[in-house]
Structure 1
């Protein structure tokens, strides 16, 4: 019975994680108008699923760290009530935040649930050293690093674009105008002859900036934006799936490959059915975004999360993504500080909320 409850609890946590986290990687696509909500959601779902399945091969270190070793006594870790409490407490916290549109960290919720269960089970005997070194420091530092890197990257991108101005006084451009509809018949269109124009340096620079190595810059930028958004979602699936799957590793009767598949499926469903409110917060409420800003934020987020996964550092994709967006908004002078303050408050409340929920669930589970 407890094994079945644990499986349901882990799937619930994975569902909540997908609802709160899946859209974060593509938030800049939706916020900048590069893609509509449905297009962004489909891309996020596919990329996250790919990252979740790749976690079996590329993120083995995280499976060990989020089994709770070092944080709680080994004899406690191997008990089903402890794992049920961790999964249930974290899942309840994440789904509650999702309900109100707050993008919180599943990593943070897992830590709080582990701490709450351990404190109750051991009467306050909690090893704080691994908690601080392996978890708290990466969670605190990652948004700051993301903020600074995103601000520097976008500032550098702007500088590079501004230096593409022409040194000539005049330029000659050949342009293909849009077709005109004939009066009285909207279905019949007449092609126009390409126009030749001579303009001043400022206009020439604007036209030249639209080409990069012979490719149209807008299409190249949007393509990179989609790729970077997919990379963020892939990295998130790669980083988060092992944390959730680790809760089932010590339970009897479960094989690793089926655990990964179950977690990946639940995350997919959560993102498809319950991502809208967090999507609006990430895409529109933190800061207004241009195409270049969204691309910059996504590239920084993807690189940081993938690098952390390689090193086995359980950073929060949420913290990194929000930090990147805020860094972009800060440089552009359009960051919404009140929204950032609300999100920061939700981050502070995540750990105690998860700890209390997990402690209550643990108390119930040991009496079953």
Structure 2
């Protein structure tokens, strides 16, 4: 069972990399500032740096402590059900180009396996998980629009490329990826709590490697969605979206809030798209629908895996 848990966590991390690494650099690609290959390489490097710099605060939040009975937190079958459900759902979403939230997937897994195994603390679920997930995209839409207006007023968001803007744009993209690595890695590391020799920095490195591989190999479909199908953008608008995302995700890291980088990055892009009236709702609506669907799908998958697992282990 321990080896199955490790395999499932590696799959989750790979799916996370394929689905989420590109979120920080989507505006570089979408605005024509750089090529897909350069963007995906920069995402892998800066995300890995964030993974290595991650702390244990988010690991404690996603261990399930307070959400489910303490006896479940290190139960191998519970950990496997959460990881496997998140990995399967994440891989499917990545395959079809939907930028979904690993936070949603893991939260769904905790809920599904937790309810099947015993009980779920609804107050903890709302305060520590659902509230931040619901608020973050709304804040991101507002922040994206406000920061774009501010930068436009200061003439720091031109509609064409300049050497200074390109530098700032790359730095902001790296900041988003770094913050995402810090925010997402501990969530997946929480699934390794039952594997003593993979706790701490070793587990973080395993997850970082799997995320980098996923981002380098399997990001193309999500890259097209984020770069070209949410909104049309020029370099200045892309920089504003990245800056808003970096500020919000970094704030979440400092306060140990399990926000979704997906919600924040897509929300910031959408905020600018609404402001410029270039939002492509034909793509945005299915993406929003995918966000709603993934949590219950992951919960159902975790419940089924837990039920089946009790018969074989």
Please give the range of the TM-score, normalised by the shorter of the 2 chains: over 0.9
Deviation at 1:217, TM superposition (A): 7.8
- Of Structure 1 and Structure 2, the greater helix share is in 2
Q: Report if aligned partners of 2:33, 2:161 keep a CA contact under 8 Å in 1.
A: no
Render the CA deviation track for 1:252-310: whole Å, top value 9, x for unaligned: 33331110111101111111110000000000000011000000000010011011000
Query: Which residue, 112, 122, 133 being the options, matches 1:128?
Result: 122
Q: Report if aligned partners of 1:150, 1:327 keep a CA contact under 8 Å in 2.
A: yes
Q: Give 2:114's aligned residue.
A: 118
Distance 2:4 2:194 in 1: 14
Q: TM-score, normalised to structure 1's length?
A: 0.82
Render the CA deviation track for 1:170-197: whole Å, top value 9, x for unaligned: xxxxxxxxxxxxxxxxxxxxxxxxxxxx
Question: Structure 2 matches for 1:1-368, cutoff 5 A?
Answer: 2-55=1-54, 59-122=55-118, 125-161=119-155, 218-366=162-310, 367-368=312-313
SS of the equivalent of 1:103 reads coil
Deviation at 1:229, TM superposition (A): 0.2
SS of the equivalent of 1:313 reads coil
Distance 2:128 2:117 in 1: 22
Q: Report if aligned partners of 1:84, 1:365 keep a CA contact under 8 Å in 2.
A: no
Larger radius of gyration: 1
Q: Give 1:173's aligned residue.
A: none
Distance 1:332 1:346 in 2: 24
SS of the equivalent of 2:198 reads coil
Q: Give 1:199's aligned residue.
A: none
Q: Report if aligned partners of 1:146, 1:323 keep a CA contact under 8 Å in 2.
A: yes
SS of the equivalent of 1:253 reads helix
Distance 1:254 1:40 in 2: 31
Q: Which runs of 5+ in 1 are unaligned?
A: 163-208, 211-215
Q: Report if aligned partners of 1:249, 1:256 keep a CA contact under 8 Å in 2.
A: no
SS of the equivalent of 1:346 reads helix
Q: TM-score, normalised to structure 2's length?
A: 0.96
Distance 2:309 2:12 in 1: 17
- Of Structure 1 and Structure 2, the greater strand share is in 1
Render the CA deviation track for 1:325-368: whole Å, top value 9, x for unaligned: 00011111100112111111000001111011111211232222
Deviation at 1:121, TM superposition (A): 1.1
Deviation at 1:18, TM superposition (A): 0.5
Deviation at 1:129, TM superposition (A): 0.7
